Amino acid sequence: MSEREVREGLFGQLARIGKAISNPKRIELLDILGQGERSVESLATVTNMTVGNTSSHLQVLRGARMVETRKVGTKVIYSLADERVACFVRELWTLADARLAEVEQLIREYLQGEETLERVTKEELVARSLSGDVFIIDVRPAEEYAAGHIPGATSVPFDELSDHLSRLPADLDIVAYCRGPHCVFAPKAAQILRQHGLRAMVLEDGMPEWRQGGLPVSTVSS
């Protein structure tokens, strides 16, 4: 085999990854699986796709060795192949931030100018959590909270936020977090809480960054 053939073969393997993430729905699936494993049916619901389309996209990702499967009864459960895939998705976001102004524009338009919300670092949240002067809410879907959450955080799914307003403390700073720095659940939740007179801010990162930082993670036993 010649040097040129080797190089073309190697770059061809890299192109498998590029082809696998060439569809926005497949990137979304990787982003969601960064929160924890899920069934095909669950992924279909959260991405607003049919089970058939979801399964097809997952098969492409599996072909590129980016996701893995296991069986639980009749259900097929998908997870990221390893932590490097989560890091890859995170770096993809970083590149998009740096090169695509449309990323910030889309978020700013959705939040209607509330991008100035106070943000808390992981280190600050750990310190404040230990001192007991902060109330942490996880606004991701309950399934993602169960798979892994910040110790002491209360599950308040964004879609159910209005049902929890009367039970949230008015005498503590409330820190909301979600899937990551580009997830709009947390800033939108903080915006709503502030409109109801509560002291709200957001974690600058999300659950994947918390986990990748080696910080403790709690789960809910099934």
Strands 173-177 and 200-203: parallel
The Cα–Cα gap between 206 and 150 comes to 10
The CB density around residue 166, as the number of other CB atoms within 10 Å, is: 7
Q: Which residues are catalytic?
A: 178
Spell out the residues 6+ positions from residue 69 whose beta carbon is closer than 8 angstroms to its own: 62, 76, 77, 78, 79
Q: Is 222's pLDDT higher than 60?
A: no
Q: What is the pLDDT of residue 107?
A: 85
pTM for the model? 0.88
pLDDT tens digits for 12-61? 999 999 999 999 999 999 999 999 999 999 999 999 999 999 999 999 99
The Cα–Cα gap between 157 and 143 comes to 10
Query: How would residue 3 be classed by pLDDT, with cut points 50, 70 and 90?
Result: very high
Radius of gyration of the chain (CA): 19
Quick check: 134 and 169 in contact, CB under 8 A?
no
Q: Which domains does the chain show, CATH number per domain?
A: 3-85 (1.10.10.10), 109-212 (3.40.250.10)
Q: What is the pLDDT of residue 189?
A: 95
